Structure 1
Amino acid sequence: MTENCREKIVSEKYVDFIWKSSWSPNGLESFFPEVCFQMINDFYDIYYVSREYLETRSRTDYEYEVFPKLYGLLENESLEASRILQIQNHPVLQLKGAGVILGFLDTGIDYTNPCFRNSVGKSRILEIWDQSIQTGSTPAGIDYGSIYGREIINQALESDIPFSIVPSRDEIGHGTQLAAIAAGSLDKETGWVGAAPLADIAVVKLKPAKGYLKQYFGVKADVIAYQENDIMLGLRYLHELALRERKPLVVCIGLGTNMGGHEGTCPLASYISAIGSRVGRCIVVAGGNEANQGHHFYGMLKDGQEYEDVEFRVADGEYGITMELWGSSPDVLSVSLISPTGEMIPRLSARSGNQRFDFIFEKTVIYIDFQPVEAQSGDQLIVIRMFFPMPGIWRLRVYGTNVLRRIFNIWLPVTGFIAEGTKFLSPNPDITLTGPSNAEIPITVGAYHVQNKSLYISSSRGFTRRGRIKPDLIAAGVDVKTIGPENRSVSMTGTSIAASVTAGSAALILEWGIVRGNWPTMSSLEIKQLLIRGANRSNNELYPNRSWGYGTLNLYSAFEALTRF
């Protein structure tokens, strides 16, 4: 590592690329001078290239997936409902996550919080990698951020000014709250406890997305967003930490995006599946809170139908929108766009390439990029980026040419990236699972209301775009009590909360399986199947389905299922 590269990695003057190793034997060094890179695995590297070398190049010069996607937070009497307490307190099992690492890729953690200390007041946090701080030691083989181990964290806890020793903070609180649900220690006064109160904790505080990338995708500068490549490196770090510690690892991911083909083939989803397939690894991903947000349109061109008009409303004050239209191979689609004032972009085809349109009677600027054959799916992709769009009803006209399957899907950005009122007028709540929850291997979790046993109205629905069964199951995710920064008691709602409950459950299974030697070859797949076998299922539902997956989390029943083998 050089300090020069450390500066480039976090600099706004450098663009981040996710580069597939097979695309070029020499990576991007063959295209650009003075690049820096970070290796993810044998398939992906992250390159950092000066923006001045990109000014003459179009986005269509590169594959779609080289641009890191932006991910947002998925937040909008859990342990009892999931029967986790029965496993913790069972006279024989008494599983509490001992010997297992629970990892979090999120907003950080309030390491001073008592719920992350053991019975003698020492920290249960094994290590923190804060990607946003550049003054400390970096992780092995990674050239940015700062790591803080348990020893220095305990030194900070003994100090009157702990943040002068370990300056990492969770200003937002989301990561702290998820970690408390999954791994919080027992509070003897209130009886509150997390799902795996004896597990070790490892945390990656993700650095905020670079401003240029937010600007490119039309996301306001003050919106909380994280980059795909930073999440991938965070997962690599947690995996390598677990290897060094020789302990099984559960990773909880409470982030999501509407970018990508909703089929689990993007770089992050592929990497998650690769790590999650390994023995001693389990990855749990929140399914998203998009079902009722109006951000998905499902289209089907009928026989003899030349085009379909897709209407969407743009809210007042909207800064930007990035909309992705995914076709179904071998169909070929083309589009035109009509503004609320009637100004029109004429029909464009894949041969049009990358074009910019400046409207005459309004400030709207639109870029339309065509990917005739998207590299991972083989399907056609049309990316429409709108800046300062005129408020009102827009019409996207979708034409079919020599269509066979006739199906197309369009997604607006995830909640939080656009104004609340921007949505399709005829949305479809299905196929709304956010990436990377549509990946094959991880456990994908939706949310429900424990008190009335109803599905959380925003819980994203499956299946994936090509019909893979997701979500896998549903867990408590409405008004769940947890502990936030400064030891405040808070309630949270959203699928990220359901994911943290499930991640804690997975830690107990790994303790039983690997730490105690009952099933030493466990991975995400085996844990997923145990949880599916133990899930509660209503007589009024047909399973698996798009909303509930295979049912609601019941850890005790998952262990009971073992007796039936």
Structure 2
Amino acid sequence: MDQKIENQLNLAINIPEDERVRTQDLDTGYNMTENEWELIVKYNGNIETAAMNIADSLKILLGGYALVRIKQERIDEFAALREVIYIEKPKKLYFELENSGSVSCLDFQYTDSALDGSGVITAIIDSSVDYRHPDFMTEEGKTRIIELYDENTGRVYSEDDINAAIGGDLSRVPVEDVSGHGTHVAGIAAGNGRASNGRYRGVAYKSRLLIVKLGNDLYFSSARLMEALDYVIRKAASLSMPVAINMSFGNNYGAHDGTSLLETYINAVADIWQCVIVAGSGNEATRKIHVMHDFAKAAAPVISTELVIGRYEPSIDIQIWKNYADIYRITLTAPDGRRYGPVQGDDVITVFRAGSTEIYVYFGQPSPYSVNQEIFIQMIGADYISSGIWIIEAEALDVRDGIYHMWLPAGNFVSSDTGFTKSSPDVTLTIPSTSYNVITVGAYNGRTGSYADFSGRGYTRVIRTVKPDIVAPGVNIMSPAPGGGYSVQSGTSMAAPFVTGTAALLMQWGIVKGRDPYMYGAKIKAQLIRGAVPLKSVPVPSERAGWGALCVRKSIPD
């Protein structure tokens, strides 16, 4: 198999289509009608000319990345181009939903006037917003939104379009926020509280807004996120305005060390223009979706992991990530006691049938960006996977490092009955919050001052970067809801926009007010870390709370 092609894509194009469509994520990016894939490409040189007669379409993104649409039978030909460095398929991303202003030290006035986000763009990449909600309008009833980009249709709606829709011509902007997730997130970061007489005002309440509607209201492709970031940064640069970008979503697929193309792309674009990118750490710490083992601490060269599969689970994937230098072989034991394996090797797909359950085991290879090896296990039921306790044995044949991690899909892709019997809440950050240049935000309870137990924990795998960077209120947060009112929601989706809004205030203090033209990117992260305050009974730094809790007042330079 081609080593320019990531492991999951190699598996996806080498299993039967009728099996692939029944998995959670292997089919993401594939258009069955056209037999066409949308793929993420890292490239150099003139990729447009090189791919002209191979790809159906190509969209160039910032930083040396592109999105390509290509027939499945031509992927190998495309990968053979010298301009192509590496190819990945998109992954599903999901929204991270599970008294806050004062606990984040927002109740202050700075010098002669309050910081309010004026002159800065707050960009919300999410499920859209209710643009008719009063909290996103001026006192004159005009929109604060510069543009709304609907990736479902490819349409960009202007400020004039939105004002016409607010005035009654809804056909000008036929976009809704069905889930309400984006409306809630935007209100925390930048709502002005008009519908509540200021009671539920957001952080950067006078900033301008850029809104991107991603996919459907349950999940969307990581390719859409890359396209959204490209749009936002280009637009902000064209307006010569600094921009704070919020991403309240993630997934579990990857090595959790910042090496996927999505993560490296985000790192690259975070260095373009005056921007800062904020992501929630996910809500996976209590969901039994991660386990870590260390052969150095094992009593025998075989480690067994119990995985409970709940009833009515149609498919599930299990990722095992280890150092490539270690050599393991894998054996699976089904609930009826039958054993399948052992399996070992590189770049090998092995198929088993366990009753009505089809099992694919794929040993991948390291990429140009990582020394990791992935062992990917995909289970697909004829109707449902055989429920009960499955045992996954890893036998060490040669150990240099000895540590390996296992992850299940994040979000609602598996039932609450499914999970590892001895799970670990650490290293449960969702991707892309593992990107180094992102400000990663966990959640805590602003009423009690305690860590929110669902909040995704660090550190990152292998490099052990301190993540989350900080935590912010994420429990029972009141914010705008579609229709003009407010609702209470919890999750790191709610914590992240507190930090996004704060980043906009810091940009206003530095760039807009002329005090520091370099107040963006890593410098904002440094200011937030310096101003963070410890949570009670949580050390600093820690896997749960990073460098501490957001404190805006202490983050503003003297």
Shared fold, TM over 0.5: yes
Q: Decide whether the 8 Å contact of 1:28 with 1:35 is kept in 2.
A: no
Q: Is residue 544 from structure 1 mapped to residue 538 from structure 2 by the alignment?
A: no
Q: Is residue 419 from structure 1 mapped to residue 386 from structure 2 by the alignment?
A: no
User: SS of 1:485's equivalent?
Assistant: coil
The verdict on how the C-alpha distance between 1:118 and 1:373 changes in structure 2, with shifts beyond 3 A counting, is same
Return the letter of the residue paired with 2:140. Answer: V
1:26-37 map, 5 Å:
26=47, 33-37=54-58
Q: Which residue of 1 aligns with 2:14?
A: none
Once the two structures are TM-superposed, the CA of residue 35 in structure 1 deviates from its matched residue by: 2.1
User: SS of 1:327's equivalent?
Assistant: strand
Once the two structures are TM-superposed, the CA of residue 352 in structure 1 deviates from its matched residue by: 6.5
Q: Which moved more, 1:27-36 or 1:178-187?
A: 27-36
Q: Which residue of 2 aligns with 1:370?
A: 363
1:249-268 map, 5 Å:
249-268=243-262
Return the letter of the residue paired with 2:142. Answer: K
User: SS of 1:233's equivalent?
Assistant: helix
Once the two structures are TM-superposed, the CA of residue 93 in structure 1 deviates from its matched residue by: 4.0
Identity rate of aligned residues, in percent? 29
Once the two structures are TM-superposed, the CA of residue 34 in structure 1 deviates from its matched residue by: 4.6
Q: Which residue of 2 aligns with 1:446?
A: 442
Q: Deviations for 1:341-390, whole angstroms, at most 9, x for unmatched residues?
A: 1232211112461233222xx32111122113234211111111111221
Q: Decide whether the 8 Å contact of 1:354 with 1:370 is kept in 2.
A: yes
Once the two structures are TM-superposed, the CA of residue 246 in structure 1 deviates from its matched residue by: 0.6
Once the two structures are TM-superposed, the CA of residue 66 in structure 1 deviates from its matched residue by: 0.9
Once the two structures are TM-superposed, the CA of residue 112 in structure 1 deviates from its matched residue by: 1.1
Out of 342, 346, 360, the position equivalent to 2:341 is: 346
User: SS of 1:546's equivalent?
Assistant: coil
Supply the distance in 2 between the matched residues of 1:367 and 1:55 (Cα, whole angstroms).
22
Q: Which moved more, 1:349-358 or 1:276-285?
A: 349-358
1:186-265 map, 5 Å:
186-187=193-194, 189=197, 191-208=199-216, 224-265=218-259
The verdict on how the C-alpha distance between 1:414 and 1:521 changes in structure 2, with shifts beyond 3 A counting, is same
1:365-404 map, 5 Å:
365-388=358-381, 389-404=385-400
Q: Which residue of 2 aligns with 1:410?
A: 406
Q: Which residue of 2 aligns with 1:296?
A: 290
Q: Decide whether the 8 Å contact of 2:233 with 2:272 is kept in 1.
A: no
Supply the distance in 1 between the matched residues of 2:541 and 2:288 (Cα, whole angstroms).
24
Q: Decide whether the 8 Å contact of 2:451 with 2:535 is kept in 1.
A: no
Q: Which moved more, 1:175-184 or 1:25-34?
A: 25-34
Supply the distance in 2 between the matched residues of 1:90 and 1:57 (Cα, whole angstroms).
55
User: SS of 1:414's equivalent?
Assistant: coil
The verdict on how the C-alpha distance between 1:75 and 1:504 changes in structure 2, with shifts beyond 3 A counting, is same
Q: Which moved more, 1:231-240 or 1:191-200?
A: 191-200
Q: Which residue of 2 aligns with 1:43?
A: 64
The verdict on how the C-alpha distance between 1:12 and 1:271 changes in structure 2, with shifts beyond 3 A counting, is farther
Supply the distance in 1 between the matched residues of 2:308 and 2:245 (Cα, whole angstroms).
37
Q: Which residue of 1 aligns with 2:457?
A: 461
Q: Is residue 334 from structure 1 mapped to residue 329 from structure 2 by the alignment?
A: yes
Once the two structures are TM-superposed, the CA of residue 91 in structure 1 deviates from its matched residue by: 5.3
Return the letter of the residue paired with 1:33. Answer: I
Q: Which residue of 2 aligns with 1:103?
A: 123
User: SS of 1:435's equivalent?
Assistant: coil
User: SS of 1:354's equivalent?
Assistant: strand
Out of 77, 82, 93, the position equivalent to 2:104 is: 82
Q: Decide whether the 8 Å contact of 2:128 with 2:212 is kept in 1.
A: yes
Q: Deviations for 1:414-464, whole angstroms, at most 9, x for unmatched residues?
A: 021111111001111111111111111111100000111111110011100
Once the two structures are TM-superposed, the CA of residue 511 in structure 1 deviates from its matched residue by: 0.5
Once the two structures are TM-superposed, the CA of residue 262 in structure 1 deviates from its matched residue by: 0.4
Q: Decide whether the 8 Å contact of 1:254 with 1:285 is kept in 2.
A: yes
Return the letter of the residue paired with 1:545. Answer: S
Q: Is residue 498 from structure 1 mapped to residue 495 from structure 2 by the alignment?
A: yes
Return the letter of the residue paired with 1:78. Answer: S
Return the letter of the residue paired with 1:553. Answer: L
Return the letter of the residue paired with 2:282. Answer: G
Once the two structures are TM-superposed, the CA of residue 119 in structure 1 deviates from its matched residue by: 1.1
Supply the distance in 2 between the matched residues of 1:98 and 1:30 (Cα, whole angstroms).
44
Return the letter of the residue paired with 1:484. Answer: A
Supply the distance in 2 between the matched residues of 1:538 and 1:11 (Cα, whole angstroms).
50
User: SS of 2:122's equivalent?
Assistant: strand
Q: Which residue of 1 aligns with 2:318?
A: 323
Return the letter of the residue paired with 1:66. Answer: E
Q: Which residue of 2 aligns with 1:269?
A: 263
Supply the distance in 2 between the matched residues of 1:249 and 1:287 (Cα, whole angstroms).
21
User: SS of 2:107's equivalent?
Assistant: helix
Q: Which residue of 2 aligns with 1:524?
A: 521
Once the two structures are TM-superposed, the CA of residue 25 in structure 1 deviates from its matched residue by: 6.5
Out of 179, 182, 185, the position equivalent to 1:172 is: 179
Q: Which residue of 2 aligns with 1:136?
A: none
Q: Decide whether the 8 Å contact of 1:264 with 1:440 is kept in 2.
A: yes
Q: CA RMSD in A?
A: 2.5
1:308-319 map, 5 Å:
308-319=303-314
Unmatched 5+ residue regions in structure 1? 1-7, 134-144, 209-222
Return the letter of the residue paired with 1:337. Answer: L
Q: Is residue 15 from structure 1 mapped to residue 37 from structure 2 by the alignment?
A: yes
Once the two structures are TM-superposed, the CA of residue 43 in structure 1 deviates from its matched residue by: 2.4
Supply the distance in 1 between the matched residues of 2:450 and 2:87 (Cα, whole angstroms).
37
Q: Decide whether the 8 Å contact of 1:279 with 1:521 is kept in 2.
A: no
Supply the distance in 1 between the matched residues of 2:512 and 2:334 (Cα, whole angstroms).
60
Once the two structures are TM-superposed, the CA of residue 550 in structure 1 deviates from its matched residue by: 0.6
The verdict on how the C-alpha distance between 1:64 and 1:368 changes in structure 2, with shifts beyond 3 A counting, is farther
Q: Decide whether the 8 Å contact of 1:64 with 1:371 is kept in 2.
A: no
Return the letter of the residue paired with 1:475. Answer: A
The verdict on how the C-alpha distance between 1:35 and 1:356 changes in structure 2, with shifts beyond 3 A counting, is farther
Corresponding residue pairs, total: 519
Once the two structures are TM-superposed, the CA of residue 336 in structure 1 deviates from its matched residue by: 1.4
Supply the distance in 1 between the matched residues of 2:458 and 2:406 (Cα, whole angstroms).
15
Once the two structures are TM-superposed, the CA of residue 85 in structure 1 deviates from its matched residue by: 3.3
Return the letter of the residue paired with 1:365. Answer: E
Runs of at least 4 residues of structure 1 off by over 3 A? 8-12, 24-34, 51-58, 62-65, 538-541
